[in-house]
């Protein structure tokens, strides 16, 4: 859906997606700090109206705001301030609606109240940025709902364009030519990961493969390149689940940082 506007100065984008799970399971995943860290980014939430909410994207990049609606397991609202320079606060509303067969529809709306179009492109980027995370959310709810989670995320700028960056990353990780349901294992010399390909995606700004991991610990790995114009990044993002998740993530983080530094030497900051 494209950005919408009304006569009262509201501008918004909205998305709906179907996920497995009961309303209570979905709420835990989308409205609590441990839940959101399991498929999005490390998050802290004070679980009441007026409470603080903060997303930690790594390398000092955070976004914070206040909870404006708290009605478990149905409705969450929050406003983020300072999310894009001088932009007004962006208001987010998330509504969970139960469906038959232990499934739920999640509706997410991001709104700005301004008569200026300065931030329209960035507001629309919410709509294009979320779908990959929603796929991680689906896998989390289908296979790992409620389990402890810990993550590893390494990213750096690549000197080539999008296609060249993806070709380099995919070749190094043995991902070239794989399709959904393929079995994947990292080659020799790469930190060990093994699992089943769940998603292969590409568009004008992204190349991405998502794998449900069996080793070295159950989880989800997302490997991709993304960017516009002359700025392209490559990324490996891993969500580990279960009792050993934190231990495994701590041991694997340094290995992946070293591997990424060797893949793309001194071209940008590691995250």
- Same domain assignment for residues 175 and 198: yes
- Same domain assignment for residues 137 and 63: yes
- Residue 217 CB partners (closer than 8 Å, separation 6+): 240, 241, 242, 244, 245, 248
As separate numbers, helices (DSSP H) first and strands (DSSP E) second, the chain gives 5, 14
| C-alpha neighbours within 13 Å on the C-beta side of residue 205 | 8
Residue 240 · residue 149 · CB < 8 Å: yes
The whole-number average pLDDT for the span 149-155 is: 95
- Residue 168 CB partners (closer than 8 Å, separation 6+): 158, 160, 234, 263, 264
Q: How confident is the model at residue 269 (pLDDT cuts 50, 70, 90)?
A: very low
Q: Would you say residue 270 lies in a domain?
A: no
Q: Would you say residue 246 lies in a domain?
A: yes
Q: How confident is the model at residue 165 (pLDDT cuts 50, 70, 90)?
A: very high
- Same domain assignment for residues 115 and 155: no
The CATH number covering residue 259 comes to: 3.30.530.20
Q: Which of 45-49, 112-116, 232-236, 261-265 has the highest mean pLDDT?
A: 45-49
Residue 4 has pLDDT above 70, yes or no: yes
Q: Where a domain ends, among 92, 119, 144?
A: 144
Residue 228 has pLDDT above 80, yes or no: no
Structure confidence at residue 118 (pLDDT): 78
Q: Kindly list the distances between the CA atom of residue 252 and the CA atoms of 26, 89, 102, 138, 144, in Å, as whole numbers in the listed order.
A: 28, 37, 34, 24, 20
- Same domain assignment for residues 155 and 64: no
Q: Would you say residue 49 lies in a domain?
A: yes
Q: Would you say residue 271 lies in a domain?
A: no
Q: Where a domain ends, among 114, 144, 174?
A: 144
Q: What is the pLDDT of residues 178-207, one digit of tens each?
A: 999 999 999 999 999 999 999 999 988 899
The percent of residues above 90 in pLDDT, for the chain, comes to 76
What is the domain extent for residue 106? 4-144
Domain tally, the chain: 2
Across the chain, mean pLDDT equals 92
Residue 79 has pLDDT above 50, yes or no: yes
Structure confidence at residue 88 (pLDDT): 87
Q: Where a domain ends, among 144, 161, 191?
A: 144
Q: What is the pTM of this model?
A: 0.91
Q: How confident is the model at residue 1 (pLDDT cuts 50, 70, 90)?
A: low
Give the integer Cα–Cα distance in Å for 149 and 233: 25
The residues with which 225 forms a beta bridge, in sequence order, are 207, 234
- Same domain assignment for residues 98 and 197: no
């Amino acid at each position: 859906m494209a950005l919408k506007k009304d006569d009262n100065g509201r501008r918004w984008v909205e998305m709906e997606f179907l996920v497995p799970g009961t309303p209570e399971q979905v709420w835990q995943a989308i409205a609590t700090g441990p839940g959101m860290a399991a498929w999005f980014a490390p998050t802290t939430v004070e679980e009441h109206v007026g409470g603080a909410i903060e997303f930690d994207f790594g390398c000092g990049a955070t976004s914070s705001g206040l909870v404006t609606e708290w009605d478990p397991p149905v409705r969450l609202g929050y406003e983020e301030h300072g999310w894009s320079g001088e932009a007004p606060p962006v208001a987010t509303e998330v509504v969970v609606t139960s469906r038959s067969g232990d499934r739920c529809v999640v509706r997410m709306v991001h709104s700005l109240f301004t008569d200026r179009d300065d931030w329209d492109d960035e507001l629309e980027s919410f709509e294009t940025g979320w779908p990959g995370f929603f796929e991680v959310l689906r896998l989390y709810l289908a296979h790992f709902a409620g389990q402890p989670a810990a993550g590893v995320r390494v990213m750096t700028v690549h000197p080539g364009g999008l296609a060249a960056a993806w070709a380099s990353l995919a070749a190094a990780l043995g991902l070239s030519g794989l399709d959904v349901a393929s079995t994947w294992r990292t080659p020799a010399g790469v930190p060990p990961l093994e699992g089943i390909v769940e998603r292969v995606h590409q568009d004008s700004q992204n190349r991405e493969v998502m794998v449900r991991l069996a080793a070295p610990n159950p989880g989800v790995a997302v490997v991709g390149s993304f960017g516009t114009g002359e700025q392209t990044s490559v990324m490996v993002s891993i969500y580990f689940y279960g009792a050993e998740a934190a231990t495994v993530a701590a041991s694997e983080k340094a290995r992946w940082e070293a591997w990424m530094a060797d893949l793309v030497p001194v071209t940008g900051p590691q995250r």
